[in-house]
C-alpha cells in the first residue's frame, strides 16, 4: 500500500523538479527569446467593424 | 565604405556618443550629412560599388573606396583584384548606432554573469570579439483585414458551452521589419525586435564609417510573404483577445492584405562571436535598444545536480503528503489518482519543452551561417 504513494511521490517530485530546472535554465541561458509584438508595429488597435457574438458556427458570412 | 577627413585626408569614424563623424588624426568632427562629397552622390537611387575578390581568401565585399591599393578586411592581405562594378540599391533610411561597443559588451556580460547554469568559460569571453554591422532590412507598411468566425468556450457551472463569434476587422501595420540578408536567419533577426522606427534617418554613407555594412541579397518581393505572415499572426492575436470566451480558435478566415509601401533600410546590430569547446557561438545586441539575443551552453553537471537535489526534496514532501492523504481519505485518494498522474505528465512535458526550447535557441546561436556572418569580419 505504501508503494503507490512512493511511486507517485517520486514521479511528482522529480517531474516538478525537471519542470522548475527547465524553466530556470531557459531564464539563465536563453537571452532575448521574444519577438516584437502588436504594439511595436501598429499605432492603433485593430479596428473591429463588425462584432457579433453567439452566431451560428456553420455558415460562412459574406461581406 | 570610407569617408575621408577634408582637413587631413584620414579615414573618419562614426562616434556613437557624439553622433558625429570624428577624425582620429586631427580631432575634427563632421555631421554625417555633410561628410559625403556632393559630386559623388548619384542622381538616382543607386550607389556605385566596386565588388572585388581577394586572391588569398576569396572573400567578396562591396566598397566605394577609390583607392587603388588597399587590404582585404578578412585576411589582411594587400593584394586585391577588382572584379566587377555593380549598382546596389541605396538604402532610403538608416538607424544609427546608439549603443556603444562598451555598452553592448556590458549588456552581454551582465546577462551571462547572472546565469547560474552558464559555463564559467563562457562568462569570461574575449573583449575583442565584438563588431558592429549594419544589417539590411525591408520595412513594410501593410493594410490587413479579415472576415472571421471564431469558436470559444464559456463555463456554465460544471459544463463548458461552445459559442461562435463573427469579427470583421482591419488594421494598418507600420514599418514591419524583415531582414534582407540570406546569411542571417530570420528567426535570429526577429528576436532583435523591436527597432524604434520613429528614429529612422535619411541614409547617408557617413553613418557607416567605422562599422561594417551589408547590402541586401533578398529582394522585397522575396520577403513580402514573411511580412504578411508576421502581420497575420499579430492581427489574429488581437482579434482573439476581443472575444469574451476561453480557448478561442479561428474556424473560418477570409483575409485580404495590401502592401502600402516597401522601404530599404540599414539597422544596427552588434555581433559577438566566441569559441567554446570547439564550437562557435554568436550573440547579437540590438544596436539601438541594447536588447541582447542568444543562448549559451549550460553546465550539464549543474543541471543534473539541481534536478537530483530538488527532485529528492520535492519527492520527500510529495510522498509524505500522499501517504497522509491515502490513510486519512482512501476513497478520495483513488479519485485523485488520475489528477496525480496528469500532474506528473504535465510536469515532465513542460520540462522537456523548456529544454527543447533552449536547445533550439543554442542551435540558432551556433548556426554556421550566423557565425560566418560575424566572424569573417572580426578576423580582418
Q: What ipTM did this prediction achieve?
A: 0.79
Among B11-25, B56-70, B127-141, B296-310, the range of highest mean pLDDT: B296-310
Task: Judge whether A52 lies within some domain.
Answer: no
Please report residues of A whose CB lies closer than 8 A to that of B289: none
- How many structural domains comprise chain B? 2
Closest CA to B144 of B237, B218, B221, B267: B237
Instruction: Determine, for residues A61 and B149 on separate chains, whether the beta-carbon distance falls below 8 Å.
Output: yes
Q: Between residues B316 and B33, which one has the greater pLDDT?
A: B316
Mean pLDDT of chain B: 81
- Measured between beta carbons, the chain B residues lying within 8 angstroms of A7 are none
In a domain, A42, yes or no: no
Tell me if B72 is assigned to some domain.
yes
Of all residues in chain B, the one with the smallest CA distance to A13 is: B315
Inside any domain, residue A55: no
The three-point CA angle B345-B352-A23 to 5° equals: 105
When pLDDT is cut at 50, 70 and 90, the band that residue B286 belongs to is very high
Domain boundary among B94, B117, B139: B94
CA–CA gap between residue B72 and residue B369 (Å, rounded)? 21
Q: Which three cell numbers stand for residue A9?
A: 511521490
Co-location of B58 and B195 in the same domain: no
What range defines the domain where residue A20 resides?
1-27
Residue A23 lies in a domain: yes
Assigned domain for B354 exists = no
**Residue B169 with chain A: CB contacts under 8 Å:** 46-49
CB contact under 8 A, A25 and B147: no
Q: At residue A60, does pLDDT exceed 60?
A: no
**Inter-chain contact A18–B347, Cβ cutoff 8 Å?**
yes
In a domain, A20, yes or no: yes
Chain A CB within 8 Å of residue B250 CB? no
The answer to whether residue A18 is domain-embedded is: yes
CA distance B37 to chain A (A): 36
Contacts A–B by Cβ distance under 8 A? 230
- Residue-wise pLDDT tens digits, B74-124: 554 443 333 433 455 678 899 999 999 889 988 888 888 888 898 888 888
Q: Which residues 143-202 on chain B approach chain A with CB closer than 8 angstroms?
A: 147, 149, 151, 162-177, 190-194
Domain limits for position B71:
13-94
Which of B94, B111, B137 is at the close of a domain? Answer: B94
Nearest to B175 among A4, A37, A41 (CB): A41
- The answer to whether residue A59 is domain-embedded is no
Q: Is B242 in Cβ contact with A28 (below 8 Å)? A: no
User: Touching check for B306 and chain A: CB below 8 Å?
Assistant: yes
Q: Is there a single domain that holds both residue B196 and residue B123? A: yes
Give me the number of domains chain A comprises: 1
pLDDT of residue B120: 84
Q: At what angle do helices B330-365 and B300-328 cross, to 10 degrees?
A: 170
Are the Cβ atoms of B171 and A47 closer than 8 angstroms?
A: yes
User: What confidence score (pLDDT) does residue B85 get?
Assistant: 35
Do B61 and B106 fall within a single domain? no
Report if residue A36 sits inside a domain: no
- Same domain (yes/no): B129, B184: yes
SS3 B267: strand
Q: Do B347 and A12 touch (CB under 8 A)?
A: yes
Q: How confident is the model at residue B71 (pLDDT cuts 50, 70, 90)?
A: very low
DSSP state of B47: E
**Distances from the Cα of B24 to the Cα of B32, B33, B125, B210, angstroms:** 15, 19, 28, 11
Would you say how long chain A is, in residues?
63
Residues B46, B69: Cα–Cα separation, whole Å: 25
For residues B289 and B203, membership in a common domain is answered with yes
The most distant pair of C-alpha atoms in chain B lies apart, rounded to whole Å, by: 92
Whether the CB of A52 is below 8 Å from some CB of chain B: the reply is yes
Indicate which of A20, A45, A46 best probes the interface with B, i.e. most B CBs within 10 Å of its own CB: A46
Between B216 and B39, residue with greater pLDDT: B216
Q: Based on the fold, state whether residues B18 and B134 are members of the same structural domain.
A: no
| Adjacent-strand bridge partners of B250 | B150
Is B309 contained in some domain?
no
Residue B310 lies in a domain: no
Shared-domain flag, residues B123 and B70: no
Residues 6+ apart with CB under 8 A from B314: A12, A13, A14, A16, A17
Q: Which is nearest to B59 in space by CA: B34, B89, B83, B90?
A: B83
Is residue B140 over pLDDT 70?
yes
State whether B265 and B369 are in the same domain: yes
Shared domain check, B135 and B55: no
Residue B49 Rama label (left phi>0; alpha psi -120 to 50; beta): beta
Give me the residues paired with residue A30 across strands.
Answer: B295
Q: Is residue B175 part of a domain?
A: yes
| Cell numbers found for residue B168 | 470583421
Contact A33 B361 (CB under 8 A): yes
Q: Do B290 and B270 belong to one domain?
A: yes
From B48, B79, B94, the end of a domain falls on B94
Judged by CB atoms closer than 8 Å, whether chains meet at B234 and A34 is answered as no
Q: pLDDT digits over B13-67, tens only?
A: 778 888 888 887 788 888 877 755 544 444 445 555 566 665 555 666 555 443 3
Assigned domain for B26 exists? yes
Interface check for A36 against chain B (CB to CB < 8 A): the answer is yes
Residue B331 in domain: no
At residue B270's C-alpha, the angle toward residues B265 and B274, to 5°, is 140
| Shared domain check, B256 and B190 | yes
Q: Is B238 a member of any domain?
A: yes
| Residues of chain A contacting residue B163, judged by C-beta atoms under 8 Å apart | 53-54
Same domain, residue pair B84 and B200 = no
Amino acid at each position: 500500500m505504501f508503494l503507490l504513494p512512493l511511486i507517485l511521490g517520486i514521479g511528482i517530485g522529480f517531474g516538478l523538479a525537471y519542470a522548475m530546472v527547465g524553466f530556470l535554465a531557459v531564464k539563465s541561458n536563453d537571452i532575448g527569446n521574444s519577438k516584437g509584438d502588436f504594439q511595436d508595429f501598429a499605432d492603433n488597435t485593430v479596428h473591429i467593424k463588425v462584432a457579433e457574438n453567439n452566431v451560428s458556427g456553420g455558415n460562412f458570412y459574406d461581406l | 565604405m570610407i569617408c575621408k577627413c577634408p582637413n587631413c585626408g584620414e579615414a573618419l569614424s562614426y562616434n556613437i556618443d557624439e553622433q558625429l563623424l570624428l577624425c582620429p588624426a586631427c580631432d575634427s568632427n563632421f555631421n554625417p550629412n555633410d561628410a559625403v562629397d556632393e559630386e559623388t552622390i548619384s542622381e538616382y537611387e543607386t550607389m556605385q560599388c566596386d565588388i572585388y575578390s581577394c586572391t588569398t581568401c576569396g572573400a567578396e565585399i562591396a566598397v566605394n573606396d577609390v583607392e587603388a591599393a588597399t587590404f582585404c578586411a578578412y585576411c589582411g592581405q594587400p593584394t586585391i583584384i577588382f572584379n566587377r562594378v555593380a549598382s546596389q540599391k541605396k538604402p532610403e533610411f538608416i538607424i544609427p548606432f546608439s549603443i556603444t561597443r562598451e555598452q553592448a559588451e556590458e549588456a552581454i556580460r551582465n546577462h551571462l554573469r547572472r546565469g547560474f547554469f552558464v559555463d564559467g568559460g563562457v562568462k569570461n569571453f574575449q573583449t575583442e570579439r565584438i563588431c558592429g554591422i549594419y544589417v539590411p532590412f525591408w520595412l513594410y507598411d501593410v493594410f490587413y483585414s479579415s472576415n472571421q468566425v471564431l469558436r470559444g468556450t464559456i463555463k456554465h457551472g460544471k459544463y463548458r458551452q461552445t459559442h461562435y463569434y463573427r469579427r470583421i476587422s482591419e488594421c494598418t501595420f507600420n514599418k514591419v521589419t524583415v531582414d534582407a540578408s540570406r546569411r542571417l536567419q530570420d528567426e535570429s533577426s526577429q528576436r532583435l525586435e523591436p527597432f524604434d522606427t520613429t528614429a529612422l534617418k535619411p541614409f547617408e554613407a557617413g553613418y557607416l564609417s567605422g562599422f561594417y555594412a551589408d547590402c541586401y541579397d533578398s529582394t522585397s518581393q522575396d520577403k513580402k510573404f514573411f511580412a504578411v505572415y508576421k502581420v497575420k499572426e499579430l492581427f489574429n492575436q488581437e482579434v482573439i483577445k476581443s472575444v469574451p470566451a476561453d480557448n478561442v480558435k479561428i474556424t473560418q478566415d477570409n483575409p485580404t492584405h495590401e502592401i502600402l509601401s516597401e522601404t530599404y533600410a540599414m539597422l544596427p546590430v552588434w555581433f559577438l562571436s566566441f569559441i567554446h569547446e570547439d564550437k562557435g557561438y554568436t550573440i547579437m545586441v540590438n544596436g539601438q535598444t541594447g536588447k541582447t539575443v542568444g543562448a549559451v551552453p549550460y553546465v550539464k553537471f549543474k543541471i543534473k545536480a539541481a534536478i537530483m537535489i530538488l527532485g529528492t526534496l520535492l519527492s520527500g514532501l510529495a510522498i509524505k503528503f500522499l501517504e497522509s492523504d491515502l490513510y486519512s481519505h482512501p476513497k478520495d485518494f483513488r479519485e485523485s489518482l488520475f489528477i496525480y498522474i496528469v500532474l506528473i505528465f504535465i510536469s515532465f512535458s513542460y520540462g522537456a519543452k523548456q529544454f527543447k526550447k533552449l536547445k533550439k535557441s543554442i542551435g540558432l546561436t551556433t548556426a554556421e551561417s550566423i557565425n560566418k556572418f560575424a566572424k569573417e569580419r572580426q578576423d580582418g
